[in-house]
């Protein structure tokens, strides 16, 4: 998944583009490049590695232009290298392109172009697009792009310039995000709004099939049938630029972990009324009658969002008594699931751009299921594809490892489960008030816990030399064990595995010896005694136990080597507190190991390719 920025207007486009690329670096960061038009000629600079490398290169030999395109890459075809970095030009150096997505028929197109003696500089799929545009170009870049797009299959967000038409950028999108920023005498394009917020909050989200011409003083958008679209809504983004800055924190990830008391509150504010025993999620458009008729719920997502889905199974089944299946999106879409009209399919996605989750959503819609998206990015592809969308309102999440988005997703899922349970007559008013009050107090309880994060730092330092970890949980905290393991492995590169504690004796216990730390989630719950015995089994085989226990629990002392006390809350609500120390443990281990915490190797913030 890559990042694209484009600018045309009165400023030096190079400055605007670097501002934007810096904000998009979390989308991909193995190489970057910039293209501008100077005196009706194209100039392109590219560098491997972080955007800083390109910036340094340009500071040594500055360029100024009122129009330009920039790109930061996460390699799909062709290894990270200068020649594979975007932008790519045609052989006559008259047309230049930046691309996010995959050209699925690029091999066939490349062969056909080679047969016409076309030379290629890179190994990328993207380069075939710019050669086709040149082939189709007569005297209109728009028409050449339009013709080319009918020849390519796959996903794209594109920015294109032509030296013969130096007053415009042409852009287009299909199954990859692209947003237009509307300024005064200047206009922008970007892969997501965080790249634009410093300059404008007024944006237009392109739809699949749109092709747009971006000039300094106007924007013309045409749909897939070339009809000019006059009424595409200009949205005003509520986020401000500062939210997508570190504001003094060493890493975005730490900032976002510590923001969670506020972001959880932002997510439920105006949606729960504990004293009245009321939930009001106005975006959840299902009518009460339909809610009563839901036969099954399918929850579909990837990664951390999938773990939030696993928690929701306990909530929908325990509170609303609705049978619930949770699926990894890349499995769900190929599993030929038996779906029907009375199924509610909930997709969860922080970015709203994950390709497999988007495809699963489209499959559910094709089977006439009710569809609901839980997203964090307004105007994202998934949020616009679903019949209804509930936003998590936790602000831009820049760290590749998802933290605040996860707890905001859980918060939405709690509210939804309580709402469904109440409307289906399974949760009375008094119990509803009790659970809503529990949720209401969570931000304060997490704030209290976050006062002693030094403990997590100290424990992390003990374990930085370990090469394997086991995370154990039961019931509603089994998904949190999975999430804790994912956090550790994705930012520290240490192998970690989350396991249902009751499964240990069915094999994994063979892994345990003195070199194996075991993180066990053993908060007070209906399965407390069971997990205590799992801990004893592990400890008796030499495992080192790091226990996440409910505050004031004394029994755990003799059974653990390290104890992290978390606030005592209702067991069904406990995932909102048990995940916090696991986020911090992973964070501090990665920091001690000198990892690139916000932009770990091989990863990207949103996987918009399959």
Task: Report the catalytic residues.
Answer: 2, 605
| Interface pick for ligand AGP out of 72, 349, 408, 560 (rule CB under 6 A) | 349
**Dist CA 263 CA 396 (whole Å):** 11
Count of residues that bind ligand AGP according to CB under 6 A = 15
For residue 239, CA distances in Å to 38, 186, 202, 396 come to 34, 21, 11, 7
- When asked if residue 305 is in the footprint of ligand AGP (CB under 6 A), the reply is yes
Alpha-carbon span 467 to 59, nearest angstrom:
42
Tokens representing 276 are 């009245």
- From 297-305, 338-346, 365-373, 451-459, give the range in contact with ligand AGP by CB under 6 A: 297-305
User: How many other CB atoms are there within 10 angstroms of residue 79's CB atom?
Assistant: 11
- Alpha-carbon distance of 559 to 496, in angstroms, equals 22
Distance CA 180, CA 560 (A): 55
Min CB(490)–ligand AGP separation in Å: 6
> β-strand 31-38 against 296-301: which pairing, if any?
unpaired
Contact status: 260 vs ligand AGP (CB under 6 A): no
> Which range of residues in 176-184, 338-346, 348-356, 584-592 is near ligand AGP by CB under 6 A?
348-356
Considering only residues 351, 381, 477, 525, which one is a binding residue for ligand AGP as defined by CB under 6 A? 351
Q: Single out the segment in contact with ligand AGP by CB under 6 A; choices: 49-57, 180-188, 226-234, 343-351.
A: 343-351
Nearer to ligand AGP, 148 or 191 (CB): 191
Contacts of 73 (CB under 8 A, 6+ apart): 2, 28, 29, 30, 31, 32, 33, 80, 84, 85, 86
Residues 13, 411, 606, 608: which binds ligand AGP (CB under 6 A)? Answer: 606
Contact between 175 and ligand AGP by CB under 6 A: the answer reads no
Pairing assessment for the beta strands 544-550 and 517-521 based on DSSP bridges: parallel
Shortest approach of ligand AGP to residue 55 CB, angstroms? 26
Residue 13 engages ligand AGP in binding (rule: CB under 6 A): no
Cα separation, 173 vs 155, in Å, equals 8
Give the side-chain half-sphere CA count within 13 A for 605.
30
Name the CA dihedral angle for 224, 4, 598, 357, rounded to a multiple of 10 degrees. 10
How far is Cα 370 from Cα 387, in angstroms, rounded to an integer? Answer: 7
Q: Is the peptide bond before 48 cis (omega within 30 degrees of 0)?
A: no
Measured CA distances, 580 to 102, 151, 404, 531, 565 (Å): 36, 49, 9, 20, 11
Residue 302 binds to ligand AGP (criterion: CB under 6 A)? yes
Rounded Cα–Cα distance for residues 478 and 498 (Å): 8
The number of beta carbons lying within 10 Å of the beta carbon of residue 170 is 27
Q: Please select the residue that binds ligand AGP; options are 100, 354, 408, 574, rule is CB under 6 A.
A: 354
395 closest CA partner among 238, 270, 521: 238
Residue 303 is a binding residue for ligand AGP (CB under 6 A):
yes
Is 408 exposed, middle or buried (CB count within 10 Å of its CB: 0-12, 13-18, 19+)? buried
Q: How far is the CB of 304 from ligand AGP (least distance, A)?
A: 3
Q: Which one of residues 84, 304, 392, 408 is an interface residue with ligand AGP (CB under 6 A)? A: 304
Helix, strand, or coil (residue 193): helix
In this complex, which beta carbon is closest to ligand AGP, that of residue 130 or of residue 491?
491
Does 89 contact ligand AGP by CB under 6 A? Answer: no
Indicate whether 607 belongs to the interface with ligand AGP (CB under 6 A): yes
Phi, psi of 55 (to 5 degrees): -60, -45
* Closest to ligand AGP by CB, 19 or 259: 259
In the complex with ligand AGP, the residue whose CB is nearer, 400 or 472, is 400
Give the range of 48-56, 116-124, 265-273, 351-359 binding ligand AGP by CB under 6 A. Answer: 351-359
The SS3 call for residue 131 is helix
String marking each residue 393-412 x if it binds ligand AGP according to CB under 6 A: -------xxx----------
Q: Which residue's Cβ lies closest to ligand AGP?
A: 303
DSSP per-residue letters across 208-233: TT-EEEE-SS-EEEE-TT--B-----
Q: Which is nearer to ligand AGP, 232 or 365 (CB)?
A: 365
Nearest-approach distance from CB 303 to ligand AGP, in angstroms: 2
Residue 350 found at the interface with ligand AGP (CB under 6 A): yes
Is residue 357 a contact residue for ligand AGP (CB under 6 A)? Answer: yes
Is residue 136 involved in binding ligand AGP (CB under 6 A)? no
Residues 482-541 that bind ligand AGP (CB under 6 A): 490
CB 45 within 8 A of CB 33: yes
DSSP string, 87-118: PEE-TTS-EEEEEEEEETTHHHHHHHHHHTT-
Question: Of residues 540-559, which lie at the interface with ligand AGP (CB under 6 A)?
Answer: none
Binding residues (CB under 6 A) for ligand AGP: these are 302-305, 349-351, 354, 357, 400-402, 490, 606-607
């Amino acid at each position: 998944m890559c990042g694209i920025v484009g600018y045309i207007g009165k400023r030096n486009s190079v400055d605007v583009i670097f501002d934007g690329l810096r904000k998009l670096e979390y989308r991909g960061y193995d190489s970057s490049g910039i293209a501008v038009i100077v005196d009706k000629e194209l100039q392109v600079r590219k560098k491997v590695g972080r955007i800083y490398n390109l910036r340094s290169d340009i500071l040594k030999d500055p360029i100024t232009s009122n129009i330009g395109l920039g790109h930061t890459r996460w390699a799909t075809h062709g290894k990270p290298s200068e020649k594979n970095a975007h932008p790519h030009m045609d052989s006559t150096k008259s047309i230049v392109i930046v691309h996010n997505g995959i050209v699925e028929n690029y091999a066939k197109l490349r062969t056909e172009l080679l047969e016409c003696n076309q030379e290629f500089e890179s190994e990328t799929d993207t380069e075939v697009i710019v050669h086709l545009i040149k082939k189709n170009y007569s005297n209109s870049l728009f028409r050449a792009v339009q013709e080319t797009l009918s020849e390519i299959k796959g996903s794209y967000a594109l920015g294109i310039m032509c030296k013969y038409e130096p007053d415009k950028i042409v852009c287009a999108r299909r199954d990859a995000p692209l947003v237009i920023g509307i300024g005064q005498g200047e206009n922008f394009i970007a892969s997501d709004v965080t790249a634009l917020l410093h300059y404008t909050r007024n944006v237009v989200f392109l739809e699949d099939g749109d092709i747009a011409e971006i000039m300094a003083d106007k924007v013309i958008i045409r749909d897939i049938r070339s009809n000019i679209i006059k009424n595409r809504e200009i949205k005003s983004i509520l986020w401000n630029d500062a939210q997508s800055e570190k504001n003094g924190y060493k890493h975005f990830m730490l900032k976002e972990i510590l923001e969670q008391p506020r972001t959880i509150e932002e997510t439920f504010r105006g949606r729960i009324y504990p004293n009245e025993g009321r939930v009001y999620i106005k975006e959840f458009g299902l009518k009460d009658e339909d809610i009563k008729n839901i036969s099954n719920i399918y929850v579909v997502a990837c990664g951390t969002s999938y773990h939030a889905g696993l928690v929701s199974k306990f909530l929908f089944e325990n509170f609303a008594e609705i049978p619930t299946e949770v699926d990894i999106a890349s499995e769900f879409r190929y599993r030929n699931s038996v779906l029907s009209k009375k199924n509610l399919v909930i997709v969860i996605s922080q970015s709203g751009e994950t390709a497999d989750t988007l495809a699963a959503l489209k499959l559910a819609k094709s089977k006439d299921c009710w569809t609901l998206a839980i997203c964090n990015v307004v105007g994202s592809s998934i949020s616009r594809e679903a019949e209804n969308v509930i936003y998590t309102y936790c602000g831009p999440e820049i760290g590749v490892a998802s933290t605040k988005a996860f707890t905001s997703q859980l918060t939405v899922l709690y509210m939804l489960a309580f709402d469904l349970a109440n409307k289906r007559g399974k949760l009375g008013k008094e119990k509803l008030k009790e659970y809503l009050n529990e949720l209401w107090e969570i931000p304060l309880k997490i704030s209290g816990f976050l006062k002693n994060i030094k403990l997590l730092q100290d424990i992390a330092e003990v374990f930085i030399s370990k090469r394997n970890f086991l995370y154990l949980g039961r019931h509603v905290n089994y998904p949190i064990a999975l999430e804790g393991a994912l956090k550790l492995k994705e930012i520290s590169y240490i192998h970690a595995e989350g396991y249902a504690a009751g499964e240990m004796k069915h094999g994994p216990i063979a892994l345990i010896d003195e070199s194996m730390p075991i993180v066990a989630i053993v908060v007070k719950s209906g399965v407390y005694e069971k997990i205590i015995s799992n801990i004893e089994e592990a400890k008796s085989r030499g495992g080192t136990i790091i226990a996440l226990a409910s505050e004031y629990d004394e029994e755990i002392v003799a059974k653990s080597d390290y104890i992290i006390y978390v606030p005592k809350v209702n067991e069904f609500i406990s995932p909102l507190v048990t995940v916090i120390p696991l986020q911090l443990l992973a964070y501090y281990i990665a920091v001690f190991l000198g990892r690139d915490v916000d932009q770990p190797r091989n990863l990207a913030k949103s996987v918009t390719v399959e």
